[in-house]
Structure 1
Amino acid sequence: MTFALAITDFSVGEGVYTAPMAVALAKHLGYRALAAWDSGLHGWPRLREAALAAGLTPLLGCRFPWRGFAFGALPCSDRGYGELCRLLTDQAHGREGEPPRECVLLAETPEGQAYLAREGFAVHLLANPRASREGLDAARQGIPLACPQVLRFRKAAGLDLHRLKRAMAGRSTVARVEPLWEPRDAAVTRAQWETRFPGADPAAARETEAILERASAWRMHWGDWVMPRPIRAMDADLDAELAERVRAGIPRRYAEPPPELAGRIGLELDLIRRKRFAGYFLAVHDIIREARATRTCGRGSGAASVVSFLLGITNVDPVATNLMFERFLSEARRDPPDLDIDFAWDERDAVIASVFRRYGADRIAMVSNHVYFKAKGALRDVALAHGRPEADLKVLARLVRGWDEGVEGIRGNPAWAEILAKAEALQGHFHQLSVHPGGTVIAPGPLWHHVPFEPAPAKEGVSITQWDKDGVEDYGLVKIDLLGNRSLAVVRDALRELGPRVPPEVRWQPREDPATRDLLARGDSMGVFYVESPATRQLQQRVRRGDFETLVIHSSLIRPAANRWIDTYVKRSRGEEAYVPSHPVLASLLSESYGVLVYQEDVVRVGMAMAGWTHEEADKLRKILGKDDCSVKLPAFEEKFRAGCAAQGVPPEVVEETWDMVRTFRGYSFCKPHSASYAQVSFESAWIKAHFPAQFFASVITNQGGYYAPIAYLGDARRHGLVVRGPDANASRWDFSAEGDRALRVGLMAVRGARKEEVDALLEERARRGPFGDLEDLLARVDLSVPTVEALGSGGAFDRWAPDGDRTRLLWARLGGIPEGVRPRPTDPFDRAGLELELLGLTLEIHPAALQRARHGGAPHRAADVERPGRHLRFWALVVAEKTVRTERGELMQFVTFEDETALCEAVAFPDAYRKRRRPFRVGDILPVAGRSTRQDGLAALEVT
């Protein structure tokens, strides 16, 4: 018996092995083939990959319940596989389904075997080591017996982990849970299995080998692309339809088409035709046309395609921006196209719902995310499963709160040693499914021909594939990413407010606007999409340029590992370091970035030009750099790169410098089309901030997007000279709004405790019949509950009618008694700020840092004092951004952005200071800060002590 069945961690609450662990065990035990035996096919892509890498034959299979019995199936044909996927899909959606026929069916009990046989199915009984005599007796009675070993666990620790997973899945405790397995279920070597039950039965052994032969004879579809077919052109010549739509887009995009446009269109359409991709482009085009979204942003490598640009899928001209089409599609690339489309965040769900309606629920699903345990995330569940009381859980939360990776706070603590060890044993194990941010697959026919799909958690009317992004793409299903973007809503809402004050779209050119460029060059980009992080703002300030091309470079250059090369780029761009290309290749490829690799395409180009690789070979390096297992696979690519460069005669020092830059792309990098697409939205956002800051900040805070909390944006608004006005029943909308060009009105959305449906009714009544005369008029016209009245009163929405600011007296008269929790409006501005912070989460007049300074004192300086280097400073500040990183030695440190009423202040807590604090700074903290002011490249910073 040369194959076994593997239960992995994808059998939630049961399996104890990850796919690589199960494969390693099967190989160790002497097996040459391994079948998946989980509940569903969620883990199949991982098991398949691990088995092939280990030289084992992977066999697709899974278990399923039917009419109260437990069965399993190994498909023997495409039809059998499709029937199995349909059964799993039906059952996930609450339908009984029908067992697949062109499969080897295995029953886990004689009763189930007999029942399925009576229904007309050919079925084997799966041998059970706990009941060897019964199994042999059943075989003698004519029931065919199959005896592959099921790999559940190997040692006692595996059985313990099984019990723990059962307890966690059932929200029970290890002491109370009944395990599914017994010690007798432990895996043994192949030789041992064949000499014990039931391998001694020759007939059962022959049946088992016959099953292997049938299952392995079928070759599953894997790697051939499955393209969607557009609804609007189901029976059309897709290539001709695409060419017609592209030609129709030319006058919409170009007043005067550039001379090279026709050749570029012809090249792309020819490649799309030969690769049979037309249906994909047409389907995406249909989705955008049908969505009728106010603003979209096609991004990713697809923005390098002029076909995408002319269809309106993307918005940056790839010809004028010199974008590399081969990053998206090429003759050598084996990947399908992958188009990412951003919609406004509050429009995205409606877009997805419309696509599901148009294609039908059996042809479309979103892609799932596979969520895996991390030690910190598992700690609480493990503690609960071991019966730890609530008081202990609170202690645990306090110990791990904020720590990077979450366990340093309890490591070495004897009281938590066992819990931590078990939590760390779960690291990397499958936990649960979630929904991919936007990945959607559309099949030309029923999707269950290709993959099972099931209802998405907490997303009504949407299904998700059992496989994640990698599994779906490896199989060949072509993904369309339909994503939500809050900054598109920011631009949409602000432009809607401004109306005719904004030039028509054809004449609106934010990229050419001097005020916008100046704002970006100053790094004054809080709230500006994609370029508001502290690192990007500082890079803008250091280089002192705000043009589009520079912004595209900067938005790709900011990556965790690139600090050294960022410094080099800055010095060269400012003329402080002469740029002499170390190799002619770098001079031709990287002139605009002064010899520094910036984009993913740069990695590909350098691999081709310096190492002599084909585009396909170089693109493999680009892909590996973005994978989780990069550290494992990258050394082989480095060796090959160095050898290729040596063969091309590239000097060793140039190879060393270039590979050092390549290493900075690990885990996080962008292609130029992606950065250019986002830079376009950045300029639109920055133009609004430069010319209409009140409308800008109102839209940013309302859409709750961006890098910072609302209170930080209000601080920036004040620095831009805006007045912040509180909630008002006659003046506020639900959202934040501009009052003229120099004031912001806080929206009623900020009032904690006010019920939205009641506030909506208030706003509708006000719009219908006009402003309220007084509180009595308001309460007569709108039916508000006491909690909502109290919340609005406490938040200041009725202050215009409160005599002398006495909210209590105002509500006493209207509610017929003392309103609970409603306090008078303080006359002292600091007291008012404290109440506002408590009730609204923001302050209207006094900065939170100034409030704490007034209450506690002991801080003689301000954040603006950091501009003077070499001083030891102490001041109160609000933490508005933070980033925790590890040094090359593995020590933790933190970059922090502080703010008070005078300025923003960038700071760094090096490992010594970080350790002294014993926990990191967190966004929203208002606290005293001590440190030494420093200056680099003209930028002030604080070194926290």
Structure 2
Amino acid sequence: MYLNTHTYYSLRYGTIKPKDLLETAQELGVDCIALTDINSTSACLDFARMAPEHAIRPVLGVDFRNGVQQQFIMLAKNNEGFLNINRYLSSFLRENPGIDTLGELAAASSKLPSEATIPERAKILPYTYIIYPYASFKGNELSKNEFLGVKMEDINRLKFSPWKHRLEKLVILQTVSFQNKKGFNTHRLLRAIDNNTLLSKLPLSEQASEKDIFLSSEEIKEAFAAFPKLIENTETLLDQCNIAFDFSKDTPNNQSSYTHNEALDFRLLKKLAYGGIHYRYGVPDDNVLLRIKKELEIIQQKGFVSYFLINWKILKYARSKEYFYVGRGSGANSVIAYLLRITDVDPIELDLYFERFINLYRKNPPDFDIDFSWKDRDDITQFIFRSFKNTALITVYNTFKYKASVRELGKVFGLPKAEIDVLSKGDYNYNTLDKLTRLVIVYSKYIQGFPNYLGIHAGGILISEKPIHYYTATFMPPKGFATTQFDMVVAEDIGLYKFDILSQRGLGKIKDAVAIVRYNRPELPPIDIHDIKRFKQDERIKDLLRNAKAIGCFYVESPAMRMLLRKLRVDDYLGLVAASSVIRPGVAKSGMMREYILRYRYPERRKEAHPVMLDIMPETYGVMVYQEDVIKVAHYFGGLTLGEADMLRRGMSGKFRSRDEFLKVKQQFFDNCHNSGKPEALTQEIWRQIESFAGYAFAKGHSASYAVESYQSLFLKAYYPLEYMVATLNNGGGFYRPELYVHEARMHGGTILPPCINYSYSQTIIHGKEIYLGFGFLHSLENKVIKKITSERDSNGYFISLDDFIERVPISIEQINILIKMNAFRFTGRNKRELLWEAHMKTSKVVVETHIQTLFKTERISYKTPDLPNTSLEDAFDEIELLGFPLCDPFELLPDPSTNPVRVKHLLIFEGKQVTIEGYLVSIKNTATSDGKGMYFGTFLDRDGYFIDTVHFPQVAARYRFRGKGIYSITGKVVVEFDCISIEVSKMERLGMIEDPRYSDVLLKANSVKNFNRRVRINNSNN
């Protein structure tokens, strides 16, 4: 009876979760449903997976619509029909050139772009059925697989229609979009959000009928009692649809063969593995050879050979293009991956847990997360799409978040912005709200988690044996890569395992730094940035780690990591590997970060570990640090099989936490512990640690891969700090704002210079120790102006004066103002205020066209400018306006010189005492106590340029708030823990800044301008 049902994947239209749809059907005794979301197949596979659990036979299809106007419904007779429907739908979901962002494109997917309008009549596709809405159908003829869908409100009309004599072409069309009145109200709100209109002004044409709810089969049959043939036709049509997918995941559905011959695949993998031994090991010992043999056997047995070879091919291409990359994830536990140069982590050296990488019980292949520079990833993605036939990116469901929902619904209900701001911050008493405002809160919570639009997974790519459309329709985001309509969880359910091609700026920094050293210090030998073995022994790097002087370095520069390195006294590779995972939120939340630090520093503390836990994890003193530890504890402590233990680990990520299979494994863990006589309190405590930890921890191989990249950046920071800071600035910085990396370069002896017309480019450059900030740092300077400046200078040489610049570069007065105010013309030796006056007289407000070089240059009139010298303080405020920060010491901008002598170097002698110190704000971390009260961690710089770390507990945080960038006077108790010094703040205030000297004595300057303009007019008339 149900040929047209919607879930909330009918974006901003449907309101029913797929599971709720099935549960409702089961309660009503329905045994077959056709899921037909609007222009979407996002829910289809998950629906098909869950349907048998509810004793329901699923039928899959699509409701093709232009906006809310239903054109037709297509149902798949079988899997081939579903393939054809997906291909057909995908042909409409192509890129819309008028849409700028992926969010806008995806949000428009339920409407479809105008050039992709769905026609009134569908294309006849094999193995499909087509149902047109009876009320709007204009034709007279239907093909064999076409039908008209009759709604209850159409029955009376049908009695007087010629179609009553052709009942064999009619079926019942009971649309289901919501479950009840609340669902209908929610639907209307979603439609108002989608149309960006007030609820009261939402047209009826943009809404569904209130009757589009789930009725029982008896109610439908009773309504169509006068036309029993329609009941029969509908049931027959559903009976003829039979679609099935294998969700057992026994065999991956990724591309099954790399060479189109599985035996040849294995011979190639074996050849590559043994061929890589010399590069990695020289002369291998028996442990290496035994590990290779064991891994090859299991990889072949599990059908993962092509998965390894595809990764190998991708990275072989990357090396041919000299792209930097880091291979991480659980696959880094594999010696085969190490030999194929997929990763740079030696699993034998690190004693990585083989069963985390792969075991006979594991059905999915290991994770290979391949990081590339953000500049190189798009080319890698294009290579993959060129090289492999059935390829697509994976989508993510961007859902309604509570705060965003409050704002959207506040607008829909017409609330004023001020009131919406209060509601979105949660700063209200629900009992005092009026009825309308309460509705905003109630429905905001209700739609929280609803899919809002489709986005793109950070790096997931599918390479399938069958066409991607066998499983899903695809849409085309602006970058032009086909993207699935389901996410990675659904992909894994069907046996499609993603290849993770990710980007990060850390690799860009390393690559660029090597190139910058090459041009700035050509006398030095080439850098071998991959000589990790040497880096591990380097004393300079050890010193940076011990003292946490790692600003700009990958993964080790944040305040939390900086403090952890000091607490753990890290100065070697294995210590950094552990720290990379210990810093993860799961370890801290479980309370085991502190315990690990205690056991690391105080060996006698290790005796407190449970003997079983200590035996399982001797390297980490019985503390779970890595993802492998979850498997080990679940297997050896909880008695689970390796397959069950891996399911437990995966379930902890949150993706499968509600799945029945996960809940069964959890119960098995407790049952096994009880049966083996373990105390219940101990079992509960171990489970608490697992639960709070596992979803956030790294695999050890993953941490080891991160540590390799950290060592590369630490090496560059140790030996080439200025070049490395320039590379950091040119790659968007890191954890901190660019200002801190400018400060760090200055601390290492660099001279920081503002952009210069004759030396600067879009990016920052270095000459010796002089660092010229790039034009790109100037917030309001247009890219086209930057390109004109650099191309003209490269073609015709340096500029010799302001006149020369204006003659050669077409530029508006607003743009040249920016350059002059930043002292970019300082090579002229003239005061920038004079240059500003002159530019105003000689430059048009709007640039019309590019200057054309002529035989004779036009002589420009020279004007005598008034004497208006500028000061260094005025320069500082120009820099704050245009760069976002001053290039001078910010402490120089205080109205009165400070007499406070306290610096970071003095704090240790004040341990346990109250001090007051002044600091320039660097960063703030918001967090909350266990009872949900807000608190902060602050990072400041003292007058010497060294870090002050502060803790702001809830009571103080509420009373003394941060007031933006600037210098603060901080009062609090000095606390020293594990060699780390911090201040527990009891009072804090932001100090004032001197009055902006550019706007002092405004009237005097205004009169000067007026007099100057009068003189210009007189001179012009005389000329």
1:127 corresponds in structure 2 to 150
Number of residues of Structure 1 aligned to a counterpart in Structure 2: 922
Q: Secondary structure at the match of 1:8?
A: coil
- Report the Cα distance in structure 2 between the residues aligned to 1:411 and 1:351, rounded to whole angstroms: 52
Distance 1:502 1:928, change over 3 A: farther
1:449 corresponds in structure 2 to 470
Judge conservation of contact 1:878–1:926 (CA < 8 Å) in 2: yes
- Report the Cα distance in structure 2 between the residues aligned to 1:113 and 1:330, rounded to whole angstroms: 60
Judge conservation of contact 1:366–1:465 (CA < 8 Å) in 2: yes
Distance 1:538 1:791, change over 3 A: same
Q: Which amino acid aligns with 1:296?
A: Y
- Report the Cα distance in structure 2 between the residues aligned to 1:42 and 1:20, rounded to whole angstroms: 14
- Report the Cα distance in structure 1 between the residues aligned to 2:385 and 2:307, rounded to whole angstroms: 16
Q: TM-score if structure 2 supplies the norm length?
A: 0.83
Cα-to-partner distance string for 1:596-637 (whole Å, 9 max, x where unaligned) = 101111010111111221100111110111115648987765
2:752 corresponds in structure 1 to 724
Q: Secondary structure at the match of 1:578?
A: helix
Q: Which amino acid aligns with 1:560?
A: P
- Report the Cα distance in structure 1 between the residues aligned to 2:509 and 2:83, rounded to whole angstroms: 45
The equivalent position to 2:876 in structure 1, one of 829, 833, 840, is 833
Distance 1:477 1:191, change over 3 A: closer
1:424 corresponds in structure 2 to 445
1:846 corresponds in structure 2 to 889
1:176 corresponds in structure 2 to 201
- Report the Cα distance in structure 2 between the residues aligned to 1:502 and 1:560, rounded to whole angstroms: 39
Q: Which one has a bigger Cα radius of gyration?
A: 2
Matching of residue 109 in structure 1 with residue 134 in structure 2: yes
- Report the Cα distance in structure 2 between the residues aligned to 1:825 and 1:841, rounded to whole angstroms: 25
Q: Which amino acid aligns with 1:141?
A: R
1:353 corresponds in structure 2 to 382
Cα-to-partner distance string for 1:479-525 (whole Å, 9 max, x where unaligned) = 11111110001111111122344543565622221111221121222
1:12 corresponds in structure 2 to 11
Matching of residue 271 in structure 1 with residue 298 in structure 2: yes
Distance 1:232 1:791, change over 3 A: farther
1:243-642 to 2 correspondence within 5 Å? 243-291=270-318, 292-359=321-388, 363-388=390-415, 392-393=416-417, 396-397=420-421, 399=422, 406-408=425-427, 414=433, 416-456=437-477, 459-499=478-518, 500-504=524-528, 507=531, 509-563=534-588, 564-575=591-602, 577-580=604-607, 582-627=609-654, 630=657, 637-642=665-670
Judge conservation of contact 2:302–2:363 (CA < 8 Å) in 1: no
2:231 corresponds in structure 1 to 205
Distance 1:929 1:25, change over 3 A: farther
Q: Secondary structure at the match of 1:481?
A: strand
2:686 corresponds in structure 1 to 658
Q: Secondary structure at the match of 1:196?
A: helix
- Report the Cα distance in structure 2 between the residues aligned to 1:860 and 1:21, rounded to whole angstroms: 66
Q: Secondary structure at the match of 1:260?
A: helix
Task: Judge which range, 631-640 or 831-840, deviates more.
Answer: 631-640
1:671-820 to 2 correspondence within 5 Å? 671-740=699-768, 742-803=769-830, 806-814=831-839, 816-817=841-842
2:925 corresponds in structure 1 to 883
1:86 corresponds in structure 2 to 87
1:123-162 to 2 correspondence within 5 Å? 123-135=146-158, 138=163, 140-147=165-172, 149-162=174-187
Q: Which amino acid aligns with 2:597?
A: V
Cα-to-partner distance string for 1:819-869 (whole Å, 9 max, x where unaligned) = 99999998654443332111111221213xx25643798988666665533
Q: Secondary structure at the match of 1:317?
A: coil
Q: Secondary structure at the match of 1:383?
A: helix
Task: Judge which range, 153-162 or 775-784, deviates more.
Answer: 775-784
Distance 1:90 1:256, change over 3 A: same
Distance 1:926 1:663, change over 3 A: farther
Q: Secondary structure at the match of 1:735?
A: coil
Judge conservation of contact 1:830–1:854 (CA < 8 Å) in 2: no
Task: Judge which range, 411-420 or 793-802, deviates more.
Answer: 411-420
State the 1:232 CA deviation: 7.0
2:959 corresponds in structure 1 to 916
- Report the Cα distance in structure 1 between the residues aligned to 2:219 and 2:36, rounded to whole angstroms: 18
State the 1:38 CA deviation: 0.7
- Report the Cα distance in structure 2 between the residues aligned to 1:150 and 1:89, rounded to whole angstroms: 23
- Report the Cα distance in structure 1 between the residues aligned to 2:680 and 2:868, rounded to whole angstroms: 73
Distance 1:211 1:142, change over 3 A: closer
Distance 1:852 1:632, change over 3 A: farther
State the 1:59 CA deviation: 3.4
Calculate percent identity across the aligned residue pairs: 27
- Report the Cα distance in structure 2 between the residues aligned to 1:559 and 1:482, rounded to whole angstroms: 22
1:25 corresponds in structure 2 to 24
State the 1:871 CA deviation: 4.2
Task: Judge which range, 20-29 or 323-332, deviates more.
Answer: 20-29
Q: Secondary structure at the match of 2:167?
A: coil
State the 1:548 CA deviation: 0.8
State the 1:748 CA deviation: 1.8
Distance 1:385 1:181, change over 3 A: closer
Judge conservation of contact 1:610–1:645 (CA < 8 Å) in 2: yes
2:980 corresponds in structure 1 to 939
State the 1:810 CA deviation: 2.0
- Report the Cα distance in structure 1 between the residues aligned to 2:772 and 2:808, rounded to whole angstroms: 24
- Report the Cα distance in structure 2 between the residues aligned to 1:494 and 1:628, rounded to whole angstroms: 39
Distance 1:697 1:548, change over 3 A: same
Matching of residue 185 in structure 1 with residue 211 in structure 2: yes
Q: Which amino acid aligns with 1:247?
A: Y
Matching of residue 869 in structure 1 with residue 911 in structure 2: yes
State the 1:99 CA deviation: 4.3
Distance 1:229 1:153, change over 3 A: closer
RMSD: 3.4
- Report the Cα distance in structure 2 between the residues aligned to 1:192 and 1:586, rounded to whole angstroms: 60
Judge conservation of contact 2:410–2:420 (CA < 8 Å) in 1: no
Cα-to-partner distance string for 1:302-355 (whole Å, 9 max, x where unaligned) = 111222222222111222222223222221101134322111011111221232
Judge conservation of contact 1:228–1:443 (CA < 8 Å) in 2: yes
- Report the Cα distance in structure 2 between the residues aligned to 1:157 and 1:922, rounded to whole angstroms: 43
Judge conservation of contact 1:4–1:31 (CA < 8 Å) in 2: no
Q: Which amino acid aligns with 2:542?
A: R
Matching of residue 227 in structure 1 with residue 268 in structure 2: no
Cα-to-partner distance string for 1:740-772 (whole Å, 9 max, x where unaligned) = 3x5533222112222223323333444455443
Distance 1:146 1:253, change over 3 A: same
Q: Which amino acid aligns with 2:498?
A: K
Judge conservation of contact 1:729–1:798 (CA < 8 Å) in 2: yes
Q: Secondary structure at the match of 2:585?
A: coil
Structure 2, unmatched stretches of 5+, are: 95-114, 519-523, 847-864, 987-1023
Judge conservation of contact 1:365–1:464 (CA < 8 Å) in 2: yes
State the 1:414 CA deviation: 3.1
State the 1:123 CA deviation: 2.8
Judge conservation of contact 2:916–2:970 (CA < 8 Å) in 1: yes
Cα-to-partner distance string for 1:652-693 (whole Å, 9 max, x where unaligned) = 554344333213315422111111111100011111112221
1:898 corresponds in structure 2 to 940
